[in-house]
Amino acid sequence: MKRKNKSASRRRGEILSVDTYSLMGDPKTRDLFVYDESGLGIGLYTSSGITVHFIAPNEWSGSGSSSSGKRMLNLNRETDPSTPQYGLHIVDDAVSPTNDFYLARCVPEVYPTVFGHPADAKKISICSVDALQWYGAALYSVWLERALAHELGHATGLYHHDDNEPDGNPCLMKFDNGPNTWVSTTNFCTTGANCQSQINVKDP
């Protein structure tokens, strides 16, 4: 998947600075910041209408390692440090832990699982080696883009909803029932559970 290499930081709600150029932020635009450690991409998440910015490791701040708590955006240029903006960390863990066959997951900061906005999500983990083995090469890339979008959905406040709901509306947050369900699905639903309207990229 093609991905942007641009790194970004911003003044909240005002100016977005991307590498050497800046653009005026549109208050209606919803921006999400992602540190994509292994270059996995972001899958279909842009279909949610969110603008995703890839950031570099030196744009994190806060305590902890880059794989855990250190994922607050560099606040040097923030005008309002009382409202930190969190980024999302995407990692390739290659192989699932023993006795645990999650091929993709959004790991919450706090258990039991609570998702509402990026600060609640510790990391998004993809187990590429296991997934490749499970799905095979051809299906793996299809799975990966949907899995990343699904996990980004969790990280921005979405939960699963039922495949059997009467709305008949396909949604990336329903695809846990296997390949036949999610392969044909490329978007978040806009009616029924209306996942699209629930996506929250703003931290408190």
Give the interface with Zn ion as residue ranges (CB under 5 A): 171, 173, 189, 193, 195
Residue closer to Zn ion (CB basis): 148 or 193: 193
Residue closer to Zn ion (CB basis): 8 or 148: 148
The residue written with tokens 């029924």 in the block is 192
Residue closer to Zn ion (CB basis): 126 or 171: 171
Nearest approach in angstroms of CB 172 to Zn ion is: 7
Nearest approach in angstroms of CB 5 to Zn ion is: 28
In degrees, rounded to 5, the angle at the alpha carbon of residue 197 between the alpha carbons of residues 196 and 202 is 100
Nearest approach in angstroms of CB 36 to Zn ion is: 19
- Give the containing element (helix H, strand E) for 126: strand 121-126
The Cα–Cα gap between 43 and 131 comes to 15
Which structure tokens are listed for 156?
């921005």
Which residues have C-beta within 8 Å of that of residue 185, sequence separation ≥ 6?
146, 170, 171, 172, 174, 175
Nearest approach in angstroms of CB 124 to Zn ion is: 11
Residue closer to Zn ion (CB basis): 74 or 194: 194
Residue closer to Zn ion (CB basis): 124 or 173: 173
Which residues have C-beta within 8 Å of that of residue 125, sequence separation ≥ 6?
91, 92, 93, 102, 104, 105, 106, 107
Sign, CA dihedral 3-40-45-25, equals negative
Nearest approach in angstroms of CB 139 to Zn ion is: 18
**73 in helix, strand or coil?**
strand
